[in-house]
Structure 1
Amino acid sequence: MHRDVTVFGSANADLRVLVDELPRRGQVTLGHDLEMGPGGRGLNQAVAAARMGARTAFVGAVGSDDHGTMLLRCLAESGVEACVDEVDGRATGAAMIAVDEHGEITVIELPGANATLDGVSDRAAHTIRGSGVLLLQLETPVAGSLDAAALARGSGAAVILDAGPQVGELDVILGAVDVVVVDLDEVREAAGMPDATLEDAVAALATRVPTVIAFGGLRGSVIADAGGVRRLPRYVAHALDSSAVTDTFCGALAAGVAAGRSVSEAAEVAVAAAALAVQRPGSADSIPTLADVEEYLSLQRAG
């Protein structure tokens, strides 16, 4: 079976709590409206790619527990082909997320079964080789992502990397990818240029990888490639929950590239998808469909 996008990465059970103020060291924070739902960068990005119309597979790992069952159900309901190992003796990955009134978050993550993704199984290798685009993150062991990237490139697939949440690991894998997405606040660290302008830092990274995107959500994003450095469209919206905003962007970007758009064209649609996601609560539950994004873009052009 041909797949447009394969996502290799993490899957978590997200425990979300709304707070008036994000937790500080040594301070008791009052929370309310506790919620449980599917999440994890990898799973979120797979859901996003599928909702944007791509034939999508997800390669990951869960524990043999109720949380794992919930995540597998989410993938199935989203139309994502699951190539997921159920690991005995490991709990499914989990994340505890505090969300304030501005949509900003603080996360405590428990890797669980995600920590076992330090290589690629034969079944996963078959899935990766059958894809046009491989999407990776740094929320699982970098050794497994490197193996996956080598398989993808060997079969002619494009490799997109979300550099979160461990930008310090970027140097190890940067040469194995075609597109890297870095958080706007971490671009200077990623480039090793703490005092540089944003544009100079992005341009420096783009000498090491064909395309770099500094993603800033509603604050705006920058893309750099052989054509130079330029700004992506920026949307004004009320931020409700930023939990899956970067994931929505990355999944939509991969779907657009798989559909034959240039990275720049795909990124312009992906920033609109991210602007929609930030206006909705939850992680995977907040991710829009292609129809949602097309309607949103139509309203933006009309308005």
Structure 2
Amino acid sequence: MASLIAVGDNTLDVYLDQTIEYPGGNALNVAVFAARLGARSAYLGCVGDDRHGQYLLDCLQQEAVDASRCRTLSGANGWACVDNVEGERVFLGSDPGVCRQLRLDADDLAYIGTFPLAHSSLYSGLEDQLAQVRQASGCLSFDFSDNWVEFDWQALIQHVDVAFFSAADLSSAQAIELANAMRAKGPAAVVITRGAQGALAVDAQGVHEQAARACAFVDSMGAGDGFIAAFLLAWQARRTLAECLARGVDHAGQVCGWAGGFGHGRTVDSQRVQQLKHALNIQG
């Protein structure tokens, strides 16, 4: 049975224009999608001791994701306010809350070691613990998102086996150049997701490209995370890189067919809306 553990970020994606919020965050989404695809899946991260953190834990339980090692910390859960413009997500601002306060102990690392693959992300705050996660699991995938240059990515990538980058604005030639350059830093495979242009990947056998496929489009939130989960399970099953890309693109298309990352939307009350708008105004 395929299995993976996602370690790191979570959030609540708040659609202010619709007054609805959805559970999300790269690591949490990947764990949920892996479970939906039939894998043994776990999520390890920090949630706030408020009703929002408890809501995330409830959603994970409903999705059959093991969250037994999650921390509930004193403080607010993270959030990200978004607008939905013709189905595309536009982020307005965010606050990580307690999300990046995870400090792994020996028991955590032993638990991570029961999974053949661990996944984490740029927004997880695990920069100084990534080597430990990699050592524990034996294989690490990592989502560098689309703004990796704002982080010390060179220190991170040396610990990564499968690296994911988002680069929808790059041409195919530019994306291949980026993938080759990043693979030279250490990963066995580098994957570039390109939005409506599909995805490509580079490994020891060369370059593989996969076009996007038509889908019943509702919302792009979480599509990249759905791609990652499906790709990783195929990778774990020793499928070819071309097959991994095809699985990823197909599942990303499915994720685009519902609202939010993986559903579970709930209404945001007027008081929370005002609090979030005030926080956004302070952020400028």
Query: Cα offset for 1:3?
Result: 7.5
CA displacement at 1:230 relative to structure 2: 2.2
Corresponding letter in the other structure for 1:160? S
Q: Deviations over 1:186-237 (max 9, x none)?
A: 879xxxxxxx732222222222221111002332111111111121242023
Q: For the Cα contact (< 8 Å) 1:217–1:275, is it kept in 2?
A: no
Paired residues of 1:61 and 1:85 also in contact (CA < 8 A) = yes
Structure 2 match to 1:294:
none
Q: Is the 8 A contact 1:218 1:236 kept in 2?
A: no
Corresponding residue number in structure 1 for 2:274: none
Look up the match of 1:41.
26
> Could you give the per-residue CA deviations for residues 125-165 of structure 1, whole angstroms, max 9, x where no partner exists?
12211001111111111223343223222xxxx21111126
Contact 1:125/1:151, CA 8 A, preserved across alignment: yes
Misfit runs of 4+, over 6 Å: none
SS at match of 2:76: coil
Q: CA deviation at 1:264?
A: 4.0
1:223 matched to 2:201? yes
TM-score scaled by structure 1?
0.78
> Which residue number in structure 2 is paired with residue 122 of structure 1?
106
Instruction: Render the CA deviation track for 1:215-261: whole Å, top value 9, x for unaligned.
Output: 02332111111111121242023543121011111122222233443
Letter in 2 for 1:109: S
The DSSP-based 3-state class of the residue aligned with 1:111 is: strand
Q: Which amino acid in structure 1 is aligned with residue 164 of structure 2?
A: V
| Map of 2:154 onto structure 1 | 171
SS in 1 for 2:116: strand
Query: What are the equivalent positions in structure 2 for 1:86-235 lying under 5 Å apart?
Result: 86-88=72-74, 90-117=75-102, 119-141=103-125, 142-153=127-138, 158-164=139-145, 166-168=147-149, 169=151, 170-185=153-168, 197-208=174-185, 209-235=187-213
Distance across 2 between alignment mates of 1:81 and 1:263: 28
Query: What secondary structure, in the 3-state scheme, does the structure 2 residue paired with 1:110 have?
Result: strand
Q: Normalising to structure 2: TM-score of the pair?
A: 0.83
Query: Structure 2 regions of 5+ residues with no counterpart?
Result: 265-284
Say if 1:150 and 1:166 are closer, same or farther in 2 by CA, change over 3 A: farther
CA contact (8 A) 1:3 1:131 kept: no
Distance 1:198 1:14 in 2: 29
Asked if structure 1 preserves the Cα contact closer than 8 Å seen for 2:146 and 2:165, the reply is: no
Tell whether the 8 Å contact from 2:170 to 2:194 is kept in structure 1 after alignment.
no
Q: For structure 1, which segment, 34-43 or 47-56, has the greater mean C-alpha deviation from structure 2 after superposition?
A: 34-43
Give the conservation status (yes or no) of the 8 Å contact 1:8–1:145.
Answer: no
In structure 2, how many angstroms separate the alpha carbons of the residues matched to 1:228 and 1:257? 16
Asked if structure 2 preserves the Cα contact closer than 8 Å seen for 1:87 and 1:113, the reply is yes
- Aligned to 2:129, the other structure's residue is in SS state helix
Residue 191 of structure 1: aligned partner: none
Distance 1:283 1:166, change over 3 A: same
Secondary structure in structure 1 of the residue aligned to 2:12: strand
For the 8 Å contact 2:179–2:202, the answer to whether it is kept is yes
Report sequence identity in percent: 24
